[in-house]
Amino acid sequence: MKADTFAKLLVLQTLVDAEVGYLLQTRSPSLDEFREGLITRVSDLVDEIDALDAVAAARTYDAIVDFLAQIPEDDAGIVEATIRFQKAMLRTVERGMGQAERREVATWAVALHELLEEVATEYEAARSADEPPAQALSRVDALISRALSATERIHGELGTASSSELLAQVQRIAFAVRNRRASFAEVEPLVRTAQRASARYRPSPLTRIGVYVLRQVLSRDRRRRRSEPPGGVERRKRSPA
């Protein structure tokens, strides 16, 4: 699984969490409206995942269908259905990406960029109305929380001055949105600044090519060693004097 796929799966999980949270807090949409709204919210995202990783998209689609089909009316049941959905999403990630790769700074930098992009999209939609709709802002808040968590992982791993500044930049976004409800014109530059700062930790195309080539070389080397007779020392011992 590519980091780009992981990032979009993380965004999808965050949006589902936010929609469920709003449903539990307000009970304003009926369950049928909730299902329709969630499908509308994530369908494009599932298509984007499909373009990157068809297997991950298929598992995500199945998890969403199961979740919406099994979700009950009571609060406790909704919570349990959501937990099952999140476990299914975690299994999808674990099957496609190794533990070491999930800990890499580059992986979380890609995730942070995608989360911030979704923050900008959702906040622009929320601020386009005369009064920001609470449901859209609940999604923005959830995305910011996840973005802060991703940034803290980057800074916790690196502990550098630049990663500390990146954390401060994301915190500025959080204050602008949560506490000031600033205009989108004020928030967007903050988002773009943080995205540019996070880009230095993302894997470059050259890095990806290098990793691919290294894997190919190691793979060929493993195949060569499996098909060869005993190693050099052994061959020298067996060779006639």
What is the pTM (predicted TM-score) of this model? Answer: 0.81
Q: Which residues of 110-123 are buried (b: 16+ CB within 10 A; e: fewer)?
A: bbbbbbbbbbbebb
Class of the CATH-defined domain 104-227: mainly alpha
Residue 58, Cα to own-chain centre: how many angstroms? Answer: 17
d(CA 157, CA 96): 23
Mean pLDDT of successive 10-residue stretches along the chain, which has 241 residues: 94 95 86 90 93 95 94 93 96 92 94 96 85 83 97 94 96 95 95 95 58 49 52 43 45
Residue 69, CA distances (Å) to 43, 62, 64, 81 in order: 16, 10, 8, 10
Domain boundaries, the chain: 1-102, 104-227
Q: What local confidence, expressed as pLDDT, does residue 84 receive? A: 96
Q: What local confidence, expressed as pLDDT, does residue 60 receive? A: 96
The CA radius of gyration of the chain, in Å to the nearest whole number, is 23
Q: What local confidence, expressed as pLDDT, does residue 220 receive? A: 58
Q: What local confidence, expressed as pLDDT, does residue 55 receive? A: 95
Decide: 92 and 55 in contact? Cβ < 8 Å: no
